[in-house]
Amino acid sequence: MRSSFSLSNLTAGFVAVLVGYTSSIIIVMQAASAAGATTSEISSWLLALGIGTSVTCIGLSLYYRMPVLIAWSTPGAALLITGLSGANMSEAVGAFIFSALLIFLSGVTGLFEKVIAYIPRSLASAMLAGLFLHFGMNIFTSMQHQPELISAMFITYLIGKRFFPRFVMLLVLLCGIAIAGTHGLLHLTHFHFALSIPVYTAPAFSFASLIGIGIPLFIVTMASQNLPGIAIMKASGYKPPVSSIMSITGITNMLLAPFGGFSFNLAAITAAICLSEEADIDPAKRYYATISAGIFNLIAGLFGATVVSLLFALPSELTMTMAGLALLVVMCSSLKTAMDEETQREPAMITFLVAASGVSLFGIGAALWSLIAGIVSYAILNAYKGRKFTLTETLEFNDT
């Protein structure tokens, strides 16, 4: 096995992990903070995510001899930032376990595609776009407080996106740290090197958290991560064992949820790095790249406490801008998917507006209400279109 590893395998695995962490780690931290997590609990989240992605990446890739890259759901983490507002850590863990149970059941029963098929993809995408709207707006509201810092980061993002798209978020982070340092905005007094320690949180199951957090997290994870992840693998010539992957990630999710493992799913964007020719010319050996990614995920998780202390030393405007820039691509693709189908545009726009409003009723957040509003709108607006079309055809035939 050692002789089969190559520098391209290791590089692809490292870049995939690097892109994943630099583009979404701040979003994960904000999600944990929304539930009132302490610094030690946030580092436990990173440890759980590192262990979960590592074990599943290595285990699935070795067993099936194909590049199976497992990650956490960045859209899911962003959803939690708003969804966990007002909830405590125990309720959050209960919602994670419920979402994981739904993923596991959809895997073992083979009902994954059928469950998601009931929700038009345009509505799920519109929900994501609405929930992410304020992240994008934070980029420009932050400019009011730190114009030089945020403007430099924004310009770096545009240039990096043009010439170095794989490393753009790393470049933005380095630029932000450099400028914050020159302006005395870094607070390094509490920065330290330390290993992460798991922190157990007993789950609490409340109706509001299960319905308002667990179900939207399940839908977002399946629709925005697992479906694209499967599509990317198939487009690269692989036949992923969908039900097995769903079952294993669901079990892993349930086991690690009390320590902060909120979701485990197929990687979508970063998977392309390990599935390309740059990872290995031979498609049969590309699974070594995902094994490498699993090893690097474990290392990053073990040193999660160090990552947390470093990121907490950064100014809040920098972290908010990083989160907004990291989600720009997701927002663009979500809006495009939401508006693709002409018959679904109005329901999608209603879904988008409800999600963006942040409305909360009966303890249930905007994520689920937006889907309910979108599905009801879609049903009413499209219920009798088939019957009207038949009647129109009949009248035209009689006129002829």
DSSP 8-class letter at 361 = B
Write the pLDDT tens digit of every residue in 311-368: 677 787 887 787 778 778 778 878 888 888 888 889 999 999 998 887 777 656 677 7
pLDDT band for position 398 (50/70/90)? Answer: very low
Mean pLDDT of all residues in 219-232: 78
Mean pLDDT of all residues in 52-71: 95
Q: What is the rounded end-to-end Cα distance, in angstroms, of the chain?
A: 74
pLDDT band for position 114 (50/70/90)? Answer: low
Distance CA 368, CA 83 (A): 10
Distance CA 115, CA 111 (A): 6
Half-sphere exposure of 104 (CA within 13 A, CB side): 14
For the CA atoms of 97, 101, 104, 109, the dihedral, rounded to the nearest 10 degrees, stands at 180
Return phi, psi of residue 341, to 5°: -90, 120
Sign, Cα dihedral of 87, 89, 90, 95: positive
Spatial neighbors of 277 by CB under 8 A, at least 6 apart, are: none
Mean pLDDT of all residues in 111-138: 75
Half-sphere exposure of 111 (CA within 13 A, CB side): 9
CB-based contact 20:267 (threshold 8 Å): yes
Mean pLDDT of all residues in 267-286: 80
Measure Cα distances from 362 to 37, 207, 308 in Å.
24, 10, 34
Whether the per-residue pLDDT at 394 is higher than 60: the answer is no
pLDDT at residue 222 in the model: 83
Count CB-CB contacts under 10 A for residue 162.
9
Whether the per-residue pLDDT at 379 is higher than 60: the answer is yes
Most confident listed range (83-87, 123-127, 134-138, 291-295): 291-295
Give the residues across from 393 on adjacent strands: none
CB-based contact 284:69 (threshold 8 Å): no
Spatial neighbors of 334 by CB under 8 A, at least 6 apart, are: 125, 126, 128, 129, 132, 224
Q: Output 53 or 306, whichever has higher pLDDT.
A: 53
Token pair of 114 as six digits: 């059928």
CB-based contact 79:220 (threshold 8 Å): yes
Token pair of 228 as six digits: 């694209």
